[in-house]
Amino acid sequence: MTQKDITEIKELLSESKNIVITHHKNADGDAIGSSMALNTYLNLCGHKSVVISPNKFPDFLKWLDTKNEIIIFKNSTNETNLINNADLIFTLDFNNLERCGDMKDLVSNSKAKKILIDHHENPVKYADYMYSDTKISSTCEMIYHFIEKMGDNNKINTSIAEAIYTGIMTDTGSFKFSSTSSTTHKVISDLLDKGANKTKIHNEIYDNNRIEKIKLLSFALGKIEVISEYSTAIISLSQNDLNKFNFKKGDTEGIVNYGLSIENIKFAAIFIENKKEDIIKISFRSKGNFDVNVFSRDNFNGGGHKNASGAVSKVSMSSTIINFKNALKNYKTQLN
């Protein structure tokens, strides 16, 4: 974001505006955290700001929305009006309008000025202002910098601090991924000084599981397939598997990382069937230099980051896995 952008955005925000904040479909800690932090900040500044999520989000993030401010998009008149009448739309934690599901056309056609804040690779230039930086750990860290750029660090209260902390924590794998910089830690330090309760946050996100979720994890671990020739580990879960464990959104979050925790494994993937949408949702993770953003983009039309990416496959589970194994053949040298 240039100094000119900052000056113009400050000018736009200098009087009360109708604002919509949205994020990618199947929101995670970074999407919800960044949206709630920005929403609280903007409302504090006297704007009329709302968050509209493209679809349901996991229960373990609900504590961030104590006042039930997040609207789940159902294409109702209320939501359509909010988007059509917005002066500003912030799109957070994605960089291609395809990622906001059924809201895509409404957002695209709205007369509102659009501001993107995001850290994914290969941004599509759809917004009037693009604060895009692929080196920053998370969109939440960028929201912190954004508020600073607005000259408002002192407006970061405990609730904003906790929302930002959450997304940094979840997107950095609790501060261990290579995207965690010394600046990330300085930001975290300031958030703690502003009252963020780290023990509470870790507990809400990681130690608050339904027993079915843990049993699903155990089942999934039993299904890990190691493809040693390619230093790869995969897991697949059918809709039937999920149903047996009374699946709820968010229950499969993090399972893919267990594949990556096996010795000598550099590449892990999980394939999750969604019968309702008739798709297979894929998550890719890697260690070191193997670039799963490129792998996902080139083979499954997906995207994300170098070490964490995702995609959607519209063919059956068995065909998806065959396609995956065929694709692997082109990466033999990189994976060895």
Interacting residue ranges for ligand 5GP, rule: CB under 6 A: 24, 28, 120, 283, 302-305, 308-312
Query: CB of residue 236 vs ligand 5GP: minimum separation in angstroms?
Result: 14
Amino acid code (one letter) for 261: S
User: Least separation, in Å, of the C-beta of 148 and Mn ion?
Assistant: 19
Which stretch of DSSP H or E encloses residue 30?
A: helix 29-44
Binding mask 55-94 for Mn ion (x = CB under 5 A): --------------------------------------x-
Q: Write b or e for each residue in 57-74: b if 16 or more Cβ atoms lie within 10 A of its Cβ, otherwise e.
A: bbebbeebbeeebbbebe
- Report the residue number, 30 or 273, with the smaller CB distance to Mn ion: 30
Write the CB contacts of 71 (distance below 8 Å, at least 6 apart in sequence). 50, 51, 52, 53, 78, 79, 82
Nearest to 205 by CA among 240, 254, 241: 254
Site residues for Mn ion, 237-276, by CB under 5 A, read none
> Tokens representing 47?
């704007």
In the complex, least distance from residue 251 CB atom to ligand 5GP, rounded to whole angstroms: 13
3-class state of residue 210 by DSSP: coil
| Binding at 184: pick from ligand 5GP, Mn ion, none (beta carbon under 5-8 Å per type) | none
304 binding partner (options ligand 5GP, Mn ion, none; Cβ < 5 to 8 Å by kind): ligand 5GP
In whole angstroms, the minimum distance from the beta carbon of 30 to ligand 5GP comes to 8
Determine if 30 is a binding residue for Mn ion (CB under 5 A).
yes
Picked from ligand 5GP, Mn ion, none, the partner binding residue 259 (CB below 5 to 8 A depending on kind) is none
Residue 302's binding partner, choosing from Mn ion, ligand 5GP, none, with beta-carbon cut-off 5 to 8 A by kind?
Answer: ligand 5GP
Tokens (6 digits) for 28 = 């995670």
Residue with the shortest CB distance to ligand 5GP: 310
Which residue, 84 or 101, is less far from ligand 5GP as judged by CB?
101
Q: Is residue 22 within 8 Å of residue 34, measured between CB atoms?
A: no
Judging by DSSP bridges, how do beta strands 308-313 and 279-286 pair with one another? Answer: antiparallel
Burial of 211 (0-12, 13-18, 19+ CB in 10 A): exposed
Using DSSP, state whether 15 is helix, strand or coil.
coil
Judged by the rule CB under 5 A, the positions of this chain that interact with Mn ion are 30, 93, 138-139, 171
